[in-house]
Amino acid sequence: MQTLEAIDLKTKLASFEGHWQPRTVGLFNGHDLMVAKVCGDYHWHAHPDTDDFFLVLSGVLWIDLPGDQTVELHPGQLFVVPKGVMHRPHAREEATILLIEPTGTPNSGDAATAAPRRVI
């Protein structure tokens, strides 16, 4: 029988350094549940086949969208970027986020530039 345990996101986030390098902490119906530390600008990109889910755990995250639109997210707020929409997340100071993506989805929208899948 499989041992079932709660996932402590604070402990998982404390176990690694580095920004924009998501870590998989669990699986949900074929999707990776990932945490990441973010700071500074990520590059403009789109995901042609999937929506992009962001839930802010700490700090503030901004997501730039086409047409000079920016979404500002605070802890406890989430935003879903529809598939195919160009976007650029950024944080002025370190923030932590939870991401949910189908397993194997490149975080940059392009497998050639994506961070490798890391499971913790």
| Residues in contact with 88: Cβ distance below 8 Å, sequence separation at least 6, in sequence order | 41, 42, 43, 44, 45, 63, 64
pLDDT of residue 116: 74
For the domain bounded by 23-102, which CATH number is listed? Answer: 2.60.120.10
| Residues in contact with 101: Cβ distance below 8 Å, sequence separation at least 6, in sequence order | 31, 32, 34, 50, 52, 53, 107
What are the tens digits of pLDDT across the range 56-98?
A: 999 999 999 999 999 999 999 999 999 999 999 999 999 999 9
Mean pLDDT for the chain overall: 92
Position 9 pLDDT exceeds 70? yes
